[in-house]
Amino acid sequence: MKSASSQRAGKEIQSEIERLRREIREHDHRYYVLADPVISDFDYDQLMRKLTELESQHPEFITPDSPTQRVGGEPTKEFRQIRHPVPMLSLANTYNEEELRDFDKRVRNLLGDEEYNYVSELKFDGVALRLVYENGLLALAATRGDGEAGDDITANVRTIRSVPLKLALGRGETRYRNIEVRGEVLMNREGFQKMNREREENGEKTFANPRNATAGTLKLQDPKEVARRPLRFFSYYLISDESDVDSQWGSLQLLKKFGLPVSDHAKRCKDIGQVVETARYWETERDNLPFEIDGNVVKVDKLSQQRRLGAVAKSPRWAIAYKFAARQANTTLKDITVQVGRIGTITPVAELESVYLAGSTISRATLHNEDYIKEKDIRIGDTVIVEKSGDVIPAVVGYIPAKRPSGAKAYKFPHRCPSCGEPITRLEGEAAYYCENYECPSQVRGRIEHFASRRAMDIEGMGESVVDQLVSLGLLRSVADIYGLDSHRDELEALERWGKKSVDNLLKAVDRSRSRPFGKLLYGLGIRHVGERTAQLLAEHFGSMQKLMDSSEDELQFVSDIGPTIAESIYRYFQDKRTRELVGRLRAAGLQFDEAASLKKGKLSGKTFVITGTLSAFGRDEAKELIENLGGKTTDSVSKKTDFVVVGENPGSKYGKAQKLKITILNEVEFLKLIEKNK
């Protein structure tokens, strides 16, 4: 028999334990759901430590909803299957405004004259989850599976700190003790990248995107490992028999009140016009969210109207997904080929079953290098994930293991250059193979294309296909041959798709390029590691081709931003006999070998410009080019040496700095005048 006093002591300890749990829950909610913590990590750890200690002294008081019990249980072998009493439906998709308006028409027809409005939510690009709360406690978490039944992943989901183990039910809210919540598990981009970096360092396979990482994590059989992964949760659907809310909007507010994470970006829309507007907004703003979304979900707000609209097949008639143009797609990898770049870099290329991706159809994507293919274990025949982000070329980022055909073999990287047949080599510490044959046809074409390109010698009309044609005919073997093309005028005019006029134009463009500034010429030579900026720095520092060619590696390193690798590459380039011969021929062709000479021509020579804000008549690059063509210089920061600051709309801090330093400020009109005058 326990004495009365020890019973009292037990009660006190129990209430202390409960007090600690409430406090920790509150801090968890503030930290993981509201992102608004009020205590330091240290103080939080102290609370946790105290609770853990009390619980280990009094295991009889441990309850499953205690914050110490998120990670529990031993690794399992298999997940239990769970039937969903209310099926987990999927949504029909729309891809444009018209389809959204069609959805609205269907809703209007079905609801007759009644008024209705919408809630537009983010479509989280994660993994759907069903949570069951019993008596206010998290009792079950299940995946969607086929919609009718899924996996019991409760042990894993308990480790997600933004999922409350116990609902924060207020007085008078006890009727919500037994509810079901649906939502999405996902990872922030940042957490995903960090995790991938760590995996890479540990030699583990990386995940293609946050969604795959989330799905992979939820399938783990060891909750301890799941607890280490940066999963988070958003709820978007409440099922309750006792609820007295009558709208989706109201449900979201309730979920929030109960301590469940709800996105702040849900929006009430009075009509489809506002829905469309919201969709447009998110299509451009999606990258400013910390996690991935792939569209919006549009829901008729009133629950009574939702019930009347009902569902067809597997999707409700009261909701629809508006999907943004995908930046990732799945398709079959038909073959792997290799491409030879202008400096001989060998790049493996994925030959794909054509697929529509972010506004265009693609059938090729980069596979980066041999190690990348090995590391990602990508094989021909796989269903691969291709990604296009921003301006970059599409890339294969992974494959789908479940869809791998049996017998898919690992890819063997070739030993010879596919263009010239010479053996290829891989330098130590580098990921890429190189073809070192200077005469390799692919390299010759690449060098000429680069030389003629807009940012280099800007020879209009000498694009990829023309270069291809002229190289195949043997008319061009080196960039220097470009300046001998006029002696082949008749041959050119006789070519298919060519005539007198087009040949004339091409030769004129070639002629004009002779006066391109020295810096552009240097860039056009395509020296390894020498981009536009470095080329310009070299031109300014050495002033002439001769001085540059005569400089040692040490002297090269005197140029700002040029380190040993770049210096070595430039030095080696100019020591090469072939370079010397090429330079001799270019000199004879009358190209600009002198920085001062290229500058003198312009009326703005010696003047330094900074541009800030948006100009209406042209892009910033164009404005820079105009200035440079007139011999002026542009830099990115305002200093005492700046002569003019051109100010467009919404200028940055450079404007203020220019005023402070009393530098001449030009608005766009004044800038245009200055340029006109000096042309």
The whole-angstrom separation of Cα 218 and Cα 160 is 10
**Contacting ligand IVH (CB under 6 A), which of 79, 133, 207, 237?**
237
Q: How far is the CB of 91 from ligand IVH (least distance, A)?
A: 4
> Applying CB under 6 A, does 282 fall inside the site for ligand IVH?
no
- Count the helix, strand and coil residues of the chain and give each as a percent rounded to the nearest 5: 40, 20, 35
Q: From the CB of 99, what's the least distance to ligand IVH, in Å?
A: 15
Stretch that binds ligand IVH, among 58-66, 88-96, 251-259, 544-552 (CB under 6 A): 88-96
Q: Which is nearer to ligand IVH, 316 or 341 (CB)?
A: 316
How large is the angle between the packed helices 620-629 and 668-678, nearest 10 degrees?
30
d(CA 366, CA 352): 11
Q: How many residues bind ligand IVH (CB under 6 A)?
A: 16
Q: Site map for ligand IVH, 559-598, x if CB under 6 A?
A: ----------------------------------------
Q: Which stretch in 115-123, 160-168, 432-440, 518-526 sits in contact with ligand IVH by CB under 6 A?
A: 115-123
Q: Of 293-352, which residues contact ligand IVH (CB under 6 A)? A: 297, 316, 319, 321
Q: How far is the CB of 330 from ligand IVH (least distance, A)?
A: 16
Q: At closest approach, how far in Å is the CB of 266 from ligand IVH?
A: 8
Take residue 157 and report the two structure tokens written for it: 């989901």
Contact with ligand IVH (CB under 6 A): which of 20, 33, 128, 566? 128
Q: Which of 184, 387, 628, 668 binds ligand IVH (CB under 6 A)?
A: 184
Please, are residues 553 and 568 in contact by the beta-carbon 8 Å criterion? yes
Site string for ligand IVH, 423-442 (x = CB under 6 A): --------------------
Cβ contacts of 374 within 8 Å, gap of 6 or more = 410
Q: HEC states along 53-102?
A: HHHHHCHHHCCCCCHHHCCCCCCCCCCCEEECCCCCCCCCEECCHHHHHH
Tokens of 487: 């002696």
Per-residue CA distances from 582 to 414, 445, 575 (Å): 31, 16, 12
| Beta carbons of 300 and 358 less than 8 angstroms apart | no
Compute the least distance from the CB of residue 61 to ligand IVH, in Å: 38
Rounded to the nearest whole angstrom, what is the least distance from the CB of residue 663 to ligand IVH in the complex?
51
| CA separation for the pair 173, 53 (Å, rounded) | 32
Q: How far is the CB of 294 from ligand IVH (least distance, A)?
A: 8
> Do residues 33 and 261 touch, judged by C-beta distance below 8 A?
yes
**What's the min distance (Å) between Cβ of 161 and ligand IVH?**
20
Give the interface segment with ligand IVH, choosing from 6-14, 16-24, 87-95, 568-576 (CB under 6 A). Answer: 87-95
Of residues 84 and 379, the one with the C-beta less far from ligand IVH: 84
**DSSP-derived secondary structure letter, 414:** P
> Is residue 236 part of the contact set for ligand IVH (CB under 6 A)?
yes
Q: Is 543 in the site for ligand IVH (CB under 6 A)?
A: no
**Which 8-state DSSP code applies to residue 486?**
G
Q: How many other β-carbons are positioned within 10 Å of the β-carbon of residue 603? A: 15
Q: Identify which of residues 236 and 571 has a Cβ nearer to ligand IVH in the complex.
A: 236
Alpha helical stretches, state H, 86-244: 97-111, 154-157, 189-201, 210-218, 223-228
In terms of DSSP bridges, do strands 81-83 and 149-151 run parallel, antiparallel, or are they unpaired? Answer: antiparallel
Compute the distance between CA of residue 448 and CA of residue 435 in angstroms, rounded to an integer.
Answer: 17
Check binding of 123 to ligand IVH (CB under 6 A): yes
| Pick 236 or 518: Cβ nearer ligand IVH | 236
Nearest CA-CA partner of 393 in 350, 450, 333 = 350
Smallest gap from residue 259 Cβ to ligand IVH (A) = 19
By C-beta, is 251 or 442 nearer to ligand IVH? 251
Residue (239 or 582) nearer to ligand IVH, CB? 239
Which of helix, strand or coil describes residue 334? strand
- Give the H/E segment covering residue 349: strand 345-357
Residue whose CB is less far from ligand IVH, 267 or 624: 267
Piece of the chain touching ligand IVH by CB under 6 A; list 4-12, 83-91, 408-416, 584-592: 83-91
Residue 199: helix, strand or coil by DSSP? helix
Q: Whose structure tokens read 């870099």?
A: 345
Q: Tell me how far, at minimum, the Cβ of 16 lies from ligand IVH, in Å.
A: 40
Answer for the pair 642, 654: CB distance below 8 angstroms, yes or no: no
Q: Which two tokens stand for residue 13?
A: 């300890």
Distance of CA 99 to the CA centre of its chain: 27
Applying CB under 6 A, among 51, 91, 336, 567 the residue interacting with ligand IVH is 91
* Residue 47 exposed, middle or buried by CB count within 10 Å (0-12, 13-18, 19+): middle
Closest CA to 260 of 357, 81, 132: 132
* Closer to ligand IVH by Cβ: residue 306 or 551: 306
Using DSSP's 3-state secondary structure scheme, residue 144 falls into coil
Among residues 215, 133, 113, 212, the alpha carbon closest in space to that of 177 is found at: 133
Sites for ligand IVH among residues 138-167 (CB under 6 A): 144
Query: What binding mask, one character per residue, do residues 40-79 give for ligand IVH by CB under 6 A, x or -?
Result: ----------------------------------------
**Could you give the CA distance from residue 277 to residue 32 in angstroms, rounded to a whole number?**
30
Least distance from ligand IVH to the Cβ atom of residue 256, Å: 14
Query: Which token pair is 631?
Result: 């011999």
The answer to whether 469 contacts ligand IVH (rule: CB under 6 A) is no
Q: Is the CB of 90 or the CB of 330 nearer to ligand IVH?
A: 90
Shortest distance, position 318 Cβ to ligand IVH, whole Å: 8
77 is catalytic: no
Go through 113-128 and write b for each residue having 16 or more CB atoms within 10 A of its CB, e for each that does not.
eeebbbbbbbbbbbbb
Q: What are 559's two structure tokens?
A: 């140029």
Q: Nearer Cβ to ligand IVH, position 316 or 484?
A: 316
For the bound state, the minimum distance from the C-beta of residue 236 to ligand IVH, rounded and expressed in Å, comes to 4
Residue of closest CB approach to ligand IVH = 128
Spot the catalytic one: 123, 166, 388, 607: 123
CA dihedral 19, 21, 26, 28 (to 10 degrees): 160
267 forms part of the interface with ligand IVH (CB under 6 A) = no
The DSSP annotation for 455-473 comes to: TTT--TT--HHHHHHHHHT
Q: Which is nearer to ligand IVH, 144 or 158 (CB)?
A: 144
For ligand IVH, the binding residue among 28, 55, 104, 121 (CB under 6 A) is 121
- Select the residue interacting with ligand IVH from 90, 193, 502, 557 (CB under 6 A): 90
Nearer to ligand IVH, 90 or 337 (CB): 90
Binding mask 594-623 for ligand IVH (x = CB under 6 A): ------------------------------
Place of tokens 């044959």: 437
Could you say whether residue 89 binds ligand IVH (CB under 6 A)? yes
Q: 329 vs 395, which CB is nearer to ligand IVH?
A: 329
Query: Bridge-partner residues for 612, per DSSP?
Result: 647
Binding site for ligand IVH (CB under 6 A): 89-91, 121-124, 128, 144, 184, 236-237, 297, 316, 319, 321
Residues known to be catalytic: 123
